[in-house]
Amino acid sequence: MAEPIYLLLGIHHHQPVGNFDSVFAMAFEKCYRPFLEAMERHPAVRFSLHHSGPLLDWAIEREGDYIDRVAALVKKGQLEILGGGYYEPILPILKTSDALGQIGMMQKFWEDRTGVKPRGMWLAERVWEPSLAGLMNDAGIDFTILDDQHFRHAGLSQETLFGYWRTERSGKAVSIFPTDKKLRYLIPFKQAEDVVNHLLELQRKHPGEAVTYGDDGEKFGVWPGTYEWVIEQGWLEKFLSGLEANSDKIKTLTFAEYMSMAPPKGRVYLPTASYSEMLEWAMPAEAIIEYESTKQAIENAGLWEKASPFFRGGFWDNFLTKYPESNMIHKRAIYASDRIDEAEGAGKKLSDARKALYRSQCNCAYWHGLFGGLYLNYLRHALYHNIIDAESAVEAATEKNGPFAHAKITDLDRDGFDEAILSCRDATVIIDPQAGGSISAIDWKPKRFALINTLARRFEAYHRPKEGHAGGGDKALPSIHELGKDLGDLRGELIYDSLPRYAFLDHAFDGEPDWKSIAHNKHRDYASPCFAGFRITSSGEKGGFAHATLSATAPCSGGGELAVEKRYVLKDSGQLSLDYKLSCDGGMKPPMWFATEFCFTMLAGHDKDRYYLWNGVKEDDVLMDARRVVKDVALLEAVDRAFGFKVGIKADADMMVLAPIETVSQSEKGFDRMYQGSTVWFAWKPSWATSGKTEISVGIEIKNI
């Protein structure tokens, strides 16, 4: 009798830090618990399971005996736990110490509950870099699971991708299991008997080999339509029963069990990679369009199967260039990590700060593809909340009681130019000279709230017109990757920004501003200080305040130059002031209007608990998505009763305009218009002195309510 095929099932359960409680509850109800219960009913089916840290934290608090039931299956020998970075980070972009810390945190969690330290790990988004071999080895990890496409990019043929392979970096070796792509696309979208028949065909062709399935557990109940198909209509039950009925030909094992009975296939060195869609999404939008066009031409020529191993997209780290907002979160987390390391090196105990740091490294809000990711403001908020929490813990442990204020000049975002970081007990302000001397961050520490957590509107490849489709062929259920819709009415909402959505980006006009053009980013500045590279001329701290002064000169379209000096002062109370000194030479033509743009977020555009006041007066419909042009307002206040604070802005301007910042983005369900922040333009018609100089002041005060 021919040997069986060995089936290695690796299932990955994950929800991101910051996802809604209702989503966690739904996922456990419709997916994670039903999946576990099905496995309990089929004890002959062995499998390996990974839970990310956010799920484990939730389960401990909200899901009763769930963790105990998982541990019971481990002790019975049916289940092997897969480890990983606890809060599901992209490990290669972390400091080595943080990556090892995250892996160790997951190992300790399961060793404490099962007595077994995970030997294998799930790699977030299957993002592989060769350096990970050394990192995994140092962490005591023996193996991981990657797509077969990773191996194909290294030149291996599909027919060789069974069992496991060895790789190393600097002599530190680990094992890698290649998944079977066809299985990933069949499960659970084909009939259960069709999947079993595919495995039986593999057994006939490759008896004694091991085939790996590794994919998201959400396919078994969370993805659109899967709960009805997989759980209610019994797909999972049929599949497991089919495996049991054919156990003489299809034998399930855990990864560790298979490694104990079979040697590796050989040595392999894999290039940087992830799954194919991720490598496509990481590229600039224009490159994605060229990629898809070239891919289509290859497919039309009937050469895709041969060409696909040599046809790759980008590199995960390119998301940090594609989306500066992602880079800012990443570099803020690294800065927080450095501060924790420094404080711990001085003998401070900061375990809570380090855990908050690890939560801020959860990968989902760092990138965008088919899922909302970076475009979901509540996920970005959760990462910033934890960064601010970590930094506040450091300050609580290291600062003396009473007021403090600091100014630090450093290249925070690693672009080769310094930023100014002003901090006090209640607030942190980051000033970016290369972004028009604007403010890229205002953190209100008492509420752990990042006020400038905004997102610029930018062109995405999926914005171009194309026909949608909803799967087809002989699949019983369309895969999430096959769902598509055209933008429809949202096409008229496409507006693209030429600047980041920061605070105090400056503009000059040769007449009264046309706010309709400004709202659609079609305005033309007479002078554009926001595009000028500012330089920091002075900074420091004195008494209870920190300060930084920046200056730049912007050419005017009508001739001459506009010189701008901006002096920021942050008081320990959290009050921020900005004083402008403007001067122009004789080449400028009057009258000139000067405007500054203040972009910020309250996370919800149309919520009765977030609204504007002007001169202390509230109107019913003036929420954060309001579109208004107003005059005679000396004090504008943005109130957030949901988080319990308000932002007051004193800017005795001649005119203000209020507008929301809304993006059009792709998700697994189609397209969404999403609130990313609000913008307030303050405009003055300065009275220029005979010397061609004038001064303007703006004050910001944040208070808890």
Is the pLDDT at 486 greater than 90? The verdict is no
How does residue 672 score in pLDDT terms, banded at 50, 70 and 90?
Answer: confident
Cα 122 to Cα 113: distance, rounded to the nearest angstrom: 19
- Per-residue pLDDT at 473: 45
Asked which of 274, 309, 328 is the last residue of a domain, the reply is 274
| CA end-to-end distance (rounded Å), the chain | 76
Question: Is 329 inside a domain boundary?
Answer: no
- Per-residue pLDDT at 533: 85
Cα 655 to Cα 185: distance, rounded to the nearest angstrom: 57
Cα 481 to Cα 616: distance, rounded to the nearest angstrom: 50
Name 621's Cβ contacts closer than 8 Å, sequence gap at least 6. Answer: none
Residue 511's CATH number: 2.70.98.10
Name 661's Cβ contacts closer than 8 Å, sequence gap at least 6. Answer: 454, 455, 457, 501, 599, 675, 676, 677, 678, 679
How does residue 485 score in pLDDT terms, banded at 50, 70 and 90?
Answer: low
Catalytic residues: 125, 216
Q: Tally the residues of the chain.
A: 705
Is the pLDDT at 474 greater than 60? The verdict is no
- Per-residue pLDDT at 479: 54
Residue-wise pLDDT for 436-451, tens only, equals 999 999 999 999 999 9
Cα 214 to Cα 33: distance, rounded to the nearest angstrom: 19
Share of the chain residues as helix, strand and coil, in percent rounded to the nearest 5: 35, 30, 35
Q: What is the mean pLDDT of the chain?
A: 92
Question: Is 40 inside a domain boundary?
Answer: yes
- Per-residue pLDDT at 470: 41
CA dihedral 297, 300, 306, 310 (to 10 degrees): 10
Please state the rounded mean pLDDT for residues 494-500: 91
Other C-beta atoms closer than 10 Å to the C-beta of 119 total 19
Residue-wise pLDDT for 57-93, tens only, equals 999 999 989 999 999 999 999 999 999 999 999 999 9
- Per-residue pLDDT at 242: 98
Cα 226 to Cα 695: distance, rounded to the nearest angstrom: 62
Token pair listed for 602: 């309250």
**Which residues are 250's β-sheet partners?**
5
Cα 379 to Cα 511: distance, rounded to the nearest angstrom: 41
How does residue 387 score in pLDDT terms, banded at 50, 70 and 90?
Answer: very high
Asked which of 240, 274, 308 is the last residue of a domain, the reply is 274
Specify the DSSP element, H or E, that contains 201.
helix 192-205
Query: Do 551 and 563 meet the contact criterion of CB atoms below 8 Å apart?
Result: yes
Is the pLDDT at 631 greater than 90? The verdict is no
How many C-alpha atoms does 242 have within 13 Å on its Cβ side? 17
41-45, 155-159, 274-278, 463-467 — which is least confidently predicted? 463-467
- The number of domains in the chain is 2
Report in angstroms the alpha-carbon separations of 297 from 292, 293, 303, 311: 9, 6, 9, 12
Please state the rounded mean pLDDT for residues 653-665: 91
**Which residues are 249's β-sheet partners?**
none
Question: Is 367 inside a domain boundary?
Answer: no
Bridge-based pairing of strands 5-13 and 47-51 is parallel
Please state the rounded mean pLDDT for residues 533-555: 93
Question: Is 473 inside a domain boundary?
Answer: no
Helices 192-205 and 235-245, axial angle in degrees (round to 10):
30
Bridge-based pairing of strands 419-424 and 427-432 is antiparallel
Question: Is 289 inside a domain boundary?
Answer: no
Please state the rounded mean pLDDT for residues 294-305: 95
Please state the rounded mean pLDDT for residues 263-280: 96
Question: Is 360 inside a domain boundary?
Answer: no
Residue 220's CATH number: 3.20.110.20
The DSSP symbol for 267 reads: B
How does residue 476 score in pLDDT terms, banded at 50, 70 and 90?
Answer: low
If you search the block for the tokens 């933008």, which residue do you land on?
A: 487
- Per-residue pLDDT at 540: 96
What does R_g of the chain's alpha carbons equal in angstroms? 28
Report in angstroms the alpha-carbon separations of 245 from 198, 239, 255: 15, 10, 22
How many C-alpha atoms does 360 have within 13 Å on its Cβ side? 31
Residue of 137, 502, 520 whose CA lies nearest to 325: 502
- Per-residue pLDDT at 469: 41
- Per-residue pLDDT at 27: 98
- Per-residue pLDDT at 315: 94
Cα 443 to Cα 700: distance, rounded to the nearest angstrom: 13
The three-class DSSP label of residue 279 is helix
Is the pLDDT at 300 greater than 80? The verdict is yes
Other C-beta atoms closer than 10 Å to the C-beta of 371 total 17
Cα 425 to Cα 149: distance, rounded to the nearest angstrom: 50
Percent of the chain past pLDDT 90, that is, above it, reads: 78
How does residue 472 score in pLDDT terms, banded at 50, 70 and 90?
Answer: very low
Question: Is 306 inside a domain boundary?
Answer: no
Residue-wise pLDDT for 389-434, tens only, equals 999 999 999 998 878 899 999 999 999 999 999 999 999 999 999 9
Cα 58 to Cα 15: distance, rounded to the nearest angstrom: 10
Is the pLDDT at 353 greater than 80? The verdict is yes
Same domain as 567, residue 420: yes
How does residue 313 score in pLDDT terms, banded at 50, 70 and 90?
Answer: very high
How does residue 456 score in pLDDT terms, banded at 50, 70 and 90?
Answer: very high
**Which residues are 535's β-sheet partners?**
551
Other C-beta atoms closer than 10 Å to the C-beta of 581 total 15
- Per-residue pLDDT at 591: 64
Cα 562 to Cα 350: distance, rounded to the nearest angstrom: 48
Question: Is 515 inside a domain boundary?
Answer: yes
**Which residues are 579's β-sheet partners?**
567, 697
| Higher-confidence position of 486 and 51 | 51
Provide the domain limits for residue 22. 5-274
Same domain as 411, residue 266: no
Please state the rounded mean pLDDT for residues 685-690: 71
Please state the rounded mean pLDDT for residues 345-353: 96
Is the pLDDT at 483 greater than 50? The verdict is no
Asked which of 232, 249, 274 is the last residue of a domain, the reply is 274
Cα 319 to Cα 586: distance, rounded to the nearest angstrom: 45
- Per-residue pLDDT at 702: 96
Is the pLDDT at 686 greater than 80? The verdict is no
**Which residues are 215's β-sheet partners?**
11
Percent of the chain past pLDDT 70, that is, above it, reads: 95
Cα 532 to Cα 157: distance, rounded to the nearest angstrom: 53
Q: String of b and e for 433-453 (b: at least 16 CB within 10 Å)?
A: bbbbbbbbbbbbbbbbbbbbb
